[in-house]
Amino acid sequence: MDRIEAMTLFVRIVESGSFTRAANGLNIPRATATLAIQQLESRLGVRLLERTTRQVRPTFEGEVFHERCVHLLAELEDAEASLKPVASNPAGVLRVEMHGTHARLLVLPHIQAFHRRYPGLNLVLTSGDRRVDLVGEGVDCALRAGAPEDSSLVARKLAELPQVVCASPEYLEVAGFPSHPEEIHAHHVIGFFSGSKAVDSSLDVIVEGQVRSFDAGNWITVNDASSYVEGARQGCGMIQLPRFSVAPMLERGELTEVLPEWRKPALPLYAVYPQRRQLSPRVRVFLDWVTSIYEERFGDHHMNG
């Protein structure tokens, strides 16, 4: 492992707090990572990391070296990005994380066009409802709905996704069709939780120009999108989600829109990526491309507000 690779590994270990996560993010064996850091410490003549059974953290010398490594690697990436052939035709592995519904319905239908434009990029796409640790797991960027929560990530807004509240015809036949948002309290919704977040058992509706949350009862809670939608199809209660993800089911009558005359707040979608002084060409071309995909489908979010 050369010096640049060793510095990259060291930075990943410090930022993730784990040899294993850093090694996995770089697709190298953990033993290789351990040996590389030992050789780096031996070459520098100082101990860079304190290892315990629970965590790995930098020593004082390690903190100083980490800061220098971050700047050096950023300068190197800046130098590479300044070369036009690299910037216009980037190569290498690009790791992207996004929700499976977005991958299946919006991104993958156009992915061959991206490959034809940038044949040197190998795309590793991870999907799911688990929010990955971008730095610790070596992911270059992610598409995430909702307001950004991690201040250590740079966020770029891609779209405002129109939302819909819906339920199965069978559920509404038994429970009744609410005519006003206040009637949501008498209904059931399907609860949803993700990671360490609390269970969300409310629906958001715009009333007199303000977004209001209306709580409802729930007897079933899920933590993945496919179960959320399937629960609604099976008559377990109402759900709220981006319209595009259930549009075919609404058209087929498997789900019915609830309170269609009341506006629902749009769900913002962001691309997020680790902070770098210079954005890598790999990530830049993907962000520009995926932004065009969402603008074509949902319009320019700057115009939509």
Choose the CATH number for 89-159+269-304 among 3.30.420.40, 3.90.1010.10, 3.40.190.10, 3.60.20.10: 3.40.190.10
pLDDT at 91 (0 to 100)? 85
Choose the CATH number for 163-265 among 3.40.190.10, 3.30.70.1140, 3.40.640.10, 3.40.50.460: 3.40.190.10
The backbone torsions φ and ψ at residue 240, rounded to the nearest 5 degrees and listed phi first, read -135, 130
Distance of alpha carbon 184 from alpha carbon 238, whole angstroms: 9
End-to-end CA distance of the chain: 49
Residue 178 token pair: 């609410």
Tell which CATH architecture fits domain 3-81.
Orthogonal Bundle (1.10)
Question: What percent of the chain is helix, strand and coil (3-state, nearest 5)?
Answer: 45, 25, 30
* Beta-carbon contacts of residue 65 (< 8 Å; ≥ 6 apart): 10, 44, 46, 48, 58
144: left (phi over 0), alpha (psi -120 to 50) or beta: beta
pLDDT in tens, 182-209: 999 999 999 998 766 778 899 999 999 9
Q: How far is CA 34 from the centre of its chain?
A: 30
- For the ranges 50-54, 106-110, 273-277, 300-304, the one whose mean pLDDT is highest: 106-110
User: Are the folds of 3-81 and 163-265 the same?
Assistant: no
pLDDT at 85 (0 to 100)? 59
Q: What number of residues does the chain have?
A: 305
Burial 85-105 (b: 16+ CB within 10 A, else e): ebeeebeeebbbbbbbbbbeb
Domain definitions of the chain by residue range: 3-81, 89-159+269-304, 163-265
